[in-house]
Amino acid sequence: MSTSPLTQARQLALPSREAMLMRHPAVQAFWDQNAQLFEAAWQEWQANGEHGHIGLDRSMYDPRLRNAVERSWADPSQEGEVKTEVFPNVYKAQFLDPERLKELRHFMGRVADAGIPLRPPYGIVLNRGGAMLDPRSEGYLAAPEFQKFYRDLMDHFMRPISRLLFPDVYGYDSQTFGFSIQWQAGKDTSLRPHTDASAVTLNINLNLPGEAFSGSGVRFMDRVSGKSESLSFEPGTALIHHGSVPHASEPITEGERHNLVLWLYGEGNQIPLHGAHHNTISPQERWTIPKARTDAFAPF
């Protein structure tokens, strides 16, 4: 009797964290050689109901945001405001419904316990939790239920909202990338000031109401004024900004912080030049899905 893909995947040992951080050639070979096996294992995992039959759909979004986005897709001329500027070129919005976060976190908890090797975001210094989310990344979370939710999030929510806030990203937003992270007090300290290799970044907090943490704010720096400010997250809120805006994650001192971090950029990792002139786009152009094919480039 042949062994099922799920059983085979669970019998494999994940490469050590040290080997992954060092980008050892054997680590890349591990993901490449088992890519189809892992995709089949995630499909079997879901078919077996191990995801808890949790449905990830548009009801997960904040009702005001969801209604504004759906109205804009139906009639782009009716697009409305969905954000508040909290720092130069940094916006904050209630993205997910805090009352529905428990279901998403429960799903992600089952993913973590699935026993299928997942590649953590080892481009994030010292972070021990999380997973790669986009099919362009090896060892990504290939569960069909999650991938359907992820694709809809990127195509129908993040991209048009990004174009609304930052018109210069239009044409530099055909490619997607994403990962989840989990900052833990005593294990994950901080992330030094940096910029992202993205045209735009969306950072969504997945902490549950009442699931408090201390520290772990995101400090943004303004290139023009030299001003810096630490911004905090509430459950289901998102910070959205140009990838070129310098920022840093501050040390977490108590509890845990759970986030989805999502990027958009152009083919070959092209991003708009900071401060460059951009053409005006119409609402009808904004609320479209690019026809460009997904390339094979992954930032990390």
pLDDT for res 36: 98
Which residues make beta-bridge pairs with 181? Answer: 259
pLDDT for res 275: 67
Q: How far apart are CA 124 and CA 121, in angstroms?
A: 6
Q: Output the 3-class SS for 50-63.
A: CCCCCCCCHHHECH
Say if pTM beats, i.e. exceeds, 0.85. yes
Domain architecture of the chain: domains with CATH: 55-286 (2.60.120.620)
Contact predicate 249/125, CB 8 Å: no
- Residues of the chain whose pLDDT is less than 70? 1, 81-85, 123-128, 185-191, 275-276
pLDDT for res 84: 66
Measure the CA dihedral 120/121/123/128, to 10°.
-60
Q: How far apart are CA 293 and CA 51, in angstroms?
A: 30
pLDDT for res 193: 79
pLDDT for res 141: 98
- What confidence tens digit (pLDDT) does each residue in 134-192 have? 999 999 999 999 999 999 999 999 999 999 999 999 999 999 999 998 877 666 565 67
Q: E strands of 243-290, at which residues?
A: 247-249, 252-254, 256-265
